[in-house]
Amino acid sequence: MILRTKDALYDQSWQWHLKNSLTNIEELAEALNIKLPDVPTNFPLLVPLPYLNRIKKGDPNDPLLLQILPIGKENMPTQGFLKDPLEEVSQTKSHGIIHKYHGRVLIVATGSCAINCRYCFRRHFPYNEYKLSKKDWREIEEYVTKDPSIKEIILSGGDPLIMTDKRLNEFIGRIKELKQVTHLRVHTRLPIVIPQRVTEDLISWAGETKLRTIFVIHANHANELDDAVGSAILRLRSANVSVLNQSVLLKGINANLKSLVDLSWRLSNLGVIPYYLHLLDKVSGSAHFDVPEELGIQLVDQMTAQLPGYLVPKLVREVPDAPAKVQIRG
């Protein structure tokens, strides 16, 4: 049963929303009152109801719909688009650590997400080969301890907030024992797609940890940021959590000045810093989202003319083996 009223959505737990997400194109088409193609794909439809509720009924070009709708173009091979465009598999240790940049390590904490974004650069990542065990955590601790330059641990995935609060508490407890680590960063889309995930228990550990805690959320369009998302972000900030946003420049979704300016203002109104605007990582199945670098530069220059500097995100591209994200503008 699809719950379309806000009250019904608010009354459900985040776990309920995970279990009741839409995975069927026919149900999606019925919910939105539009005709949609049923396309064979190895990266299935997955959209939770709070996110679905923000998609405009009857609009096949809605920018939120286009982020999650499988289409035939995904199955067309495109030169230069690869299954592992950032060469992460070769850089991932057996215990799920990706150590690309000086001073921080990323841990692939889980392979699950609450939503399948069609442009996801890890849509082909072999998560089953990197499931974290207690033995892996011991190896992670040893790895970090041997490199005193590591000051920050980044939890990513998948989406680390897919884990229960109890499991997250265990993770954070292990990280806090690493005396050299002062910063914890959490890369997550869950506060956007299921804002109910920001529970009192989550706020409790985030507010009590001695680590400087930063949540990097992921919104691409202002329409993703409704009042429920705003409340979730406010709860995070009340726990002294810094909240940054990273977005992806996507053809047909936000590759225009109005969308980008509206997003920056909406984020700022919620107390979120517009941090990064990524050029697309060229993963197989995403070529129809690609935006030329020249247009990205032009758009950021136009944003700079219209916005205060703190609302202009850095235009960046990730390049395999580079010592940091390559900053193009901002």
- pLDDT per residue as tens digits for the range 275-313: 999 999 898 889 999 999 999 999 999 999 999 999 999
CA dist., res. 120 & res. 127, Å (int): 14
pLDDT higher than 70, residue 4: no
For 76-122, the pLDDT digits (tens) are: 889 998 877 776 666 766 678 889 899 999 998 888 899 999 998 88
For 30-62, the pLDDT digits (tens) are: 999 999 988 888 889 999 999 999 999 999 999
- Which helix (H) or strand (E) segment holds residue 184: the answer is strand 183-187
- CA 221 to chain CA mean position, Å: 13
Q: What is the pLDDT of residue 108?
A: 87
- Kindly give, in sequence order, each residue whose CB lies less than 8 Å from that of residue 227, ignoring residues fewer than 6 positions away: none
- Which helix (H) or strand (E) segment holds residue 266: the answer is helix 257-269
Q: What is the pLDDT of residue 327?
A: 94
**CA end-to-end distance (rounded Å), the chain:** 45
Q: What is the pLDDT of residue 146?
A: 95
Query: Tokens at residue 267, please?
Result: 């984020």
Task: Using pLDDT thresholds of 50, 70 and 90, give the confidence band for residue 2.
Answer: low
Question: Which residue ranges are tagged as binding site?
Answer: 113, 117, 120
Question: Which residue ranges are tagged as binding site for [4Fe-4S] cluster?
Answer: 113, 117, 120
Question: So where are the chain's domains?
Answer: 6-75, 88-329
Class of domain 88-329: alpha beta
- Kindly give, in sequence order, each residue whose CB lies less than 8 Å from that of residue 243, ignoring residues fewer than 6 positions away: 214, 215, 216, 217, 233, 236, 237, 270, 271, 272, 273
Q: How far is CA 21 from CA 53, 106, 118, in A?
A: 12, 28, 16
